[in-house]
A and B are shown apart, each in its own frame.
Chain A
Amino acid sequence: VHPAQISARLPTSFVVFVLLNVGCLANDGLPMAKEAATTPRSRGFVLANFTLAAHEGDTKLDCPDGLTLSPIDSFIALLPIEQQARIERPGDLSGQVRMMLGVKDPKALEDRANYRRLISHTNCTNPEEFPEYTGHRTVQHRGPAIGLNLDGRENSKSKTPAPGTCAHDDFTGPSGERGIDNQLWRVLGCVKGTRSDGDILRQDNAHIRQGGPNVLLEITDIDDERNDPEVTVGIYQDADSVRLNASGDVLPGASLQVDPNPKYHAKLKARIENGIVLTEVGTVTLKREGIGRAPPIDLTLTSARLKLELLPNGNTKGILGGYYDIDEFYRAAIGVHTLAGSQVMGYTCPGVLDQMRKLADGDLDPTSGACRSISMAWQLDGVPAFVIHGPANAADSMNRSTVITLRNSGANSAR
């Protein structure tokens, strides 16, 4: 049964939901129940998955030169063949330590004071000093890859770029969408950690389930969930930890508070076409879990755009794209990994930075002629949630009956 059919069988009153105004108490001690107009409605979601948009195809096609090299592999590759054989022998600790620390001169390790200094002075903390680690491999093809058309154009390196951007090759999406801007995937697509079940992707979602910073989405002013030329999409930081069910999945239907800091409030105009919500561009700042034990970091996307599909089961899935300052991204997500981290993920810090600079496509610096930010995309899945804008705010994010109707059309409706 299609949700619309169920909806039709419900009394019209079902489409009305109660607005509770906590701050407005009636004489009897209970808040006055107000019935909102039947339209416009709103839908709220909390993210259950939020990972770097990764589209893994055949490795040979994605990365014809193979996956990019880790620090150890890169170091070994720099050595003459006979030394490579020696260094790869198990038990050659000094060689391994040198590689992990990114130390060029083996003698440097003999001085204890120098050794300590070297621990904090690596090719991740000082990538400029290690130009030999630049053999970073990138995605060469022009699709398919996941992302959004951020600049509204179909670009290629040979074409004159849009004002304020740099020439680059766009991707084509998995369903043939044209003009996809995701140069960061070009940089990271041949890194082991971003391939199937890679550590980078796994960590993103682990943070959500471990109570790390998460994102709330709220679509308001909805007149028609299938086609509506004008709705508003709020992208907010969640101030609460997600609630999980017994299986460890994010529980739908929870009430979650918006972070009061306005920095984390983005409201974008949007339209709905055939159930797909697409926003106009704007700036979005989200708080993301820090790497390792680092405190949370801000992820600021400029010219950001969100595309959401409203699924029949009441959930949503979509893509958040935008431009991220490459120095900031390096500090927040690459350099902070340290040598050990980059070894696990399978890249070298100087190599990633070098390629980000070469492939950056946003925020053109007219002085240097180089771009300072890079297009990127996150994939996300959301489950219904009530987005609470502070205890005193009466606005509910979700039309209750609609979501109930949608949920009951899903597989869980049997119970």
Chain B
Amino acid sequence: MQLARLLVTFVVLTVTNAFGASEIPPTEGGAPQMRRLSEEQYRTAIADIFGADIQVAGRFEPAYRKAGLLALGEAVVSVTPAGFEQYDTMARNIVTQVLDDQHRVKLLPCRPRSETEADDACTRRIVTHYGRLLFRRPLIEPEIARHVSVASQATAKLGTYWAGLRESLVSLIDSPDFIFRIEATEPDPTRPGQRRLTPYSKATRLSYLLWNSAPDAALLDAAAAGKLNTNKGLAAEVDRLMASKRLSDGVRAFFTDFLQLTEMDGLAKDPVVYPAYNQKVLDAAREQTLRTLTFLLLERKADYRQIFTSRQTFMTRPLGPVYWVPVHVRDGWEPFEFAANDPRAGIVTQVAFTALHSHPGRSSPTLRGKAVREVLLCQTVPPPPADVDFSIVQDTSNAQYKTARDRLTAHRTNPVCAGCHKVMDPIGLALENFDGLGQYRVQENGVIIDVSGEFSGKPFNDAASLGELLAADPAAPNCLASSFFRYGVGRDWHASEKKWRGWLQESFVKDGYQLPALIRRIATSDAFFRVSTQSNSEITKGANSYD
């Protein structure tokens, strides 16, 4: 009898779980997006389609960070006339390389009948082949006809087949269908009256989430066969893409955006204050953090929270003098682990974080604290008042206030400033053992630096113990889950997605905070592909901004 009761309980639990899986909170989705390719995405697409030896030379339109992510900015930026000139110059340069003697033999699917006359049949094959890869969908007949016509008309005027084809290929690369990821919708047969993303738009969303690149031929084929509209077919493609080494490209692209590492490109430090600084150091620092993250989160499938505590990282010669550690390999990278009692633990103590969130000639506990709050915990710190007096904070040679802690304490006597600084400074002061370039130091102006403090009511002694408190704060994994979704869909949360967001965050906990599991949940979810016919401004009303 007891056994039977246990069996019943087991069956009930199993069924409940099964139902639980199907009871994922429904969402209404956001509006379809039109997202400009980032510079990296543009370069990757050209390399994927035409080969890595094709050079892409030119200036890209500046990126725009919205609500913490460039991915959201991509959905609201446009192309200026000057920016389009740059795109056109790049396209012409790319096509010139593609059609040179060396490349056209291996890149073009056919040879023209004559070098001086139009060959519409061959042009059609070329346009159809490359159009599908560039536009991330098959071209429709009028598009093919238009691009073939461009080639034949240009050949007639310019005298050679190659000159004509060049104009046609340039027009493909210059097209908004390439420069923007334009999401298209179709009626959703499972929800009468509603629309859903077309399979090709789904494929593109998926491919950029997982690989930060355009769909490959196999994914386009799966889209053409309608497989992405079934759970099984979608899961199969997600698993295929996630099994590829290119998943790390997608994860690196996410963290580059999430941790604002793109800002390292324009970062300047005063070489008089930091003689070890140069651009190579900053480039290596950015790469170090990305390597650390992909190693921990993809290779090791570690708990995400370990990024705040792990002492494992990678070193390269340019970083050696900054970290003051030996680097054995002359070229390239080698694994490195800081000693168990080293002050460095977690990505917050890496140069990419400490140097990025500092001033050119001094560290900044406030900027670092703000970055931890806003970037890693998705919390909002209000901007400073317009009339704030920074004179004491900036005076690093102040005889009375020798350390940053002293100066900030003096600054905080102004009650207008105190509220926000109380939120930011204790975190940043824990990182004061790292100067404005991220080099370790014990003292400032002859005074031993005090790196102790309190976070969320709990005391810490140094940066490493702060890392443990950050890892223990549920805001950190919640922030990651939330940010990854927002990054993938290119928009902020919709009011209808509040429950789903909670479910996603809970799932992340259940999955042991493993990033691949989180990514798979997002990539195979209805919520990720769901679109609404309402505009984004209407549907985000009532949603919390971006926690």
| B524 to A: closest C-beta gap in Å | 29
Residues on B with beta carbons closer than 8 Å to the beta carbon of A65: none
CA distance A104 to B444 in the complex (A): 69
- Given the contacts A6-B443, A415-B436, A255 and B320 also touching, CB distance less than 8 Å: yes
> Are the C-beta atoms of A391 and B330 separated by less than 8 Å?
yes
Residues on B with beta carbons closer than 8 Å to the beta carbon of A388: 326-328
- Given the contacts A249-B275, A388-B326, A22 and B334 also touching, CB distance less than 8 Å: yes
CA distance A10 to B441 in the complex (A): 12
Residues on B with beta carbons closer than 8 Å to the beta carbon of A35: 339-340
Q: Which one of A23-31, A177-185, A271-279, A365-373 is at the B interface?
A: A23-31
Closest B residue by C-beta to A240: B330
> Are the C-beta atoms of A31 and B335 separated by less than 8 Å?
yes
Q: Answer yes or no: B341 CB below 8 A from chain A CBs.
A: yes
- Given the contacts A17-B339, A415-B273, A386 and B325 also touching, CB distance less than 8 Å: yes
Q: Answer yes or no: A245 CB below 8 A from chain B CBs.
A: yes
Q: Which one of A128-136, A209-217, A293-301, A397-405 is at the B interface?
A: A397-405
Q: Answer yes or no: A120 CB below 8 A from chain B CBs.
A: no
Residues on A with beta carbons closer than 8 Å to the beta carbon of B325: 18, 386, 400
Residues on B with beta carbons closer than 8 Å to the beta carbon of A18: 325, 337-339, 342
Query: How many of A's residues come within 8 Å of B, CB to CB?
Result: 47
Closest A residue by C-beta to B402: A414
Residues on B with beta carbons closer than 8 Å to the beta carbon of A414: 396-397, 444-446
Interface centre among A13, A252, A414 (most CB of B within 10 A): A414
> Are the C-beta atoms of A404 and B324 separated by less than 8 Å?
yes
User: Using an 8 Å CB-CB cutoff, how does the interface string of B264-282 with A read, 1 for contact, 0 for none?
Assistant: 0000000111111110000
| B interface bracket (residues with beta carbon within 8 Å of A) | 35 or more
> Are the C-beta atoms of B335 and A391 separated by less than 8 Å?
no
| A385 to B: closest C-beta gap in Å | 9
Closest B residue by C-beta to A390: B328
Could you tell me which residues of chain A, from 371 to 401, have a CB within 8 Å of some CB in chain B? 386, 388, 391, 393-394, 396-398, 400
Q: Answer yes or no: A257 CB below 8 A from chain B CBs.
A: yes
Could you tell me which residues of chain B, from 425 to 446, have a CB within 8 Å of some CB in chain A? 435-436, 440-446
> Are the C-beta atoms of A403 and B321 separated by less than 8 Å?
no
Closest B residue by C-beta to A11: B341
Closest A residue by C-beta to B329: A391
User: Using an 8 Å CB-CB cutoff, how does the interface string of A238-258 with B read, 1 for contact, 0 for none?
Assistant: 001001011101011111010
Q: Answer yes or no: A9 CB below 8 A from chain B CBs.
A: yes
> Are the C-beta atoms of B320 and A254 separated by less than 8 Å?
yes
| A48 to B: closest C-beta gap in Å | 12
Residues on A with beta carbons closer than 8 Å to the beta carbon of B328: 20, 22, 255, 388, 391, 393-394
> Are the C-beta atoms of B321 and A243 separated by less than 8 Å?
yes
Residues on A with beta carbons closer than 8 Å to the beta carbon of B275: 245-247, 249, 251
CA distance A65 to B363 in the complex (A): 59
> Are the C-beta atoms of B274 and A404 separated by less than 8 Å?
no
> Are the C-beta atoms of A397 and B326 separated by less than 8 Å?
yes
Residues on B with beta carbons closer than 8 Å to the beta carbon of A257: 330
> Are the C-beta atoms of B337 and A33 separated by less than 8 Å?
yes
Residues on B with beta carbons closer than 8 Å to the beta carbon of A10: 442
Residues on B with beta carbons closer than 8 Å to the beta carbon of A251: 275-276, 321
Q: List 26 A-B contacts (CB under 8 A).
A: A1-B443, A1-B448, A13-B340, A16-B339, A18-B342, A20-B336, A20-B337, A22-B328, A22-B334, A29-B335, A31-B335, A33-B337, A33-B340, A245-B275, A249-B275, A251-B275, A251-B276, A386-B320, A386-B327, A391-B328, A394-B328, A404-B324, A404-B442, A405-B442, A414-B397, A415-B436
Given A13-B341, A14-B341, A28-B300; 15 other pairs, CB 8 A cutoff: A10-B442, A18-B337, A20-B326, A29-B335, A31-B334, A33-B337, A245-B275, A246-B275, A251-B276, A251-B321, A252-B321, A405-B442, A413-B445, A414-B446, A415-B435
